[in-house]
Amino acid sequence: MSFRNYSDSEFQEKVSNTYKNMVENQSIDYVQKMKDRYTSAPYIKCSIWNMINKLENIVDESDPDNDLPQIVHAYQTAESLKTRYLNKDNSIKSIPIKDLFNEIEWINLPTLFKSEFNTTLSSYYSNITDWSWLPLIGFIHDLGKIMMLEEFGYLPQWSVVGDTFPVGIKLSDNYPFYKNMNWKNNKSINGKGKSIYNYNCGFDNIDFSWGHDEYMASFLERNNTNLPDEAIYIIRYHSFYSWHTPRNNVCGYSDLASNYDWKMLPLLKAFQKADLYSKSRIIPSTEEIKNSYDVLIKKYFISTELYW
C-alpha cells in the first residue's frame, strides 16, 4: 500500500477540496483569531478519556490513505511507536538516525547536521532515559481534531486537519496540490509581500496555519503534565511535512529553522514513520485501547480534570 497518495486516492475529491480551502483561507488574521479563541480562557473542563472517546466520531478528510475513525489511527500510531523504537525497559533502541531519512533526503541535508546525525537515536538523545511518553503522544497526537465537534466550535476540516505551513511567507512548492495554484489569492502565503520572519528565527517564533497540532500543543502547555519538552515539540510540528518529510526531498523553510529545530528533526522523522506507516484496517476494541494506555495517561497527566 502506498501512503500520502495525492494523485489518485479513492478519497481524492474530499482530500483536494480540504487542501484547496486550507490554502485559500488560512491567513495571518485567521490564525490569530483562532489562537485567541482556543488558547485563552474560558476553557472546557473534562477528563482526557472523555475526549479520547470522542475520536470515535471523527474522520479526517485530508487523509488520502483511509477513512477510519481517529481513535483507531491513534491506537495504531501508539503501538507502532512502541514496537519500532522502545526496548522493554522504555529506553530507545539504537537505531541509526541516517535510516530515518531516504537516500536523497540524507544527501540534501546540510553538512553540519549530516555529521551530527551520523549516530543513533539513543546516543543523540542520551539525556532522555525514559521514553515511555513516546507511545502516549502517538495515542493523543490527533486529539486536537475535537475542534470539528459541535461543542468545540464545529470548525471545518480545513481549519483542523492536513499539512501545516507557516503564514507570513510564501508557501513552499513541496506542499500538496501546490501546482493547483489555489494559494495565489491568499496574501499571507502567495509571496507578493516580504517574509515577516528573520533568518533562522526558529519555528516557535512563527505563526503556522491553525489546526489540531497547535491546539493540542497549547493544551499540553497549559495543563500540568509530566511530559518532556520533546513530546510537546513533536505534537506541535508532526503535520509540518514540508519540513520533516518533503515531497521533493529538500527540507522546506530551512532558512527559518533554528539549531534547535534541526536537532529535533530526527524525532519528527521517527514519529512520522509510525504516524504514517501504521495505518491498517485492523480495528481494536475500545476496551483493549483503554487497558493499554490508561497506565501511561495516569503517569504523565497529574490532574484528572483538564482544561480544553
pLDDT in tens, 198-213: 999 999 999 999 999 9
What would the pLDDT profile of 258-272 be if each residue is shown by its tens digit? 999 999 999 999 999
b/e map of 252-273 (b: 16 or more CB within 10 Å)?
Answer: bbbebbeeebbbbbbbbbbbbb
Query: What CA–CA distance (Å, rounded) separates 240 from 208?
Result: 9
Residue 1: predicted pLDDT: 43
Residue the block writes with cell 519540513: 243
Query: What CA–CA distance (Å, rounded) separates 94 from 96?
Result: 6
% of the chain residues with pLDDT over 90: 79
Phi then psi for 82, rounded to 5 degrees? -65, -50
In the DSSP assignment, the letter for residue 88 is T
Q: What is the pTM of this model?
A: 0.92
Residues 6+ apart with CB under 8 A from 71: 52, 53, 55, 56, 286, 289
Residue 11: predicted pLDDT: 58
Query: What CA–CA distance (Å, rounded) separates 36 from 105?
Result: 37
Task: Let me know: does 94 contact 56? Beta carbons within 8 Å.
Answer: no
- In this prediction, residue 67 has a pLDDT band, given cuts at 50, 70 and 90, of low
Question: Max Cα separation, the chain?
Answer: 53
Residue type, 292: S
Higher pLDDT, 15 or 69: 15
Q: What does the domain layout of the chain look like in residue ranges?
A: 12-307
Query: What CA–CA distance (Å, rounded) separates 47 from 111?
Result: 46
Task: Let me know: does 217 contact 235? Beta carbons within 8 Å.
Answer: yes
Residues 6+ apart with CB under 8 A from 13: none
Specify the pairing of strand 306-307 against strand 45-46: antiparallel
What three-state secondary structure class fits 138?
helix
Residue 287: predicted pLDDT: 78
- In this prediction, residue 14 has a pLDDT band, given cuts at 50, 70 and 90, of confident
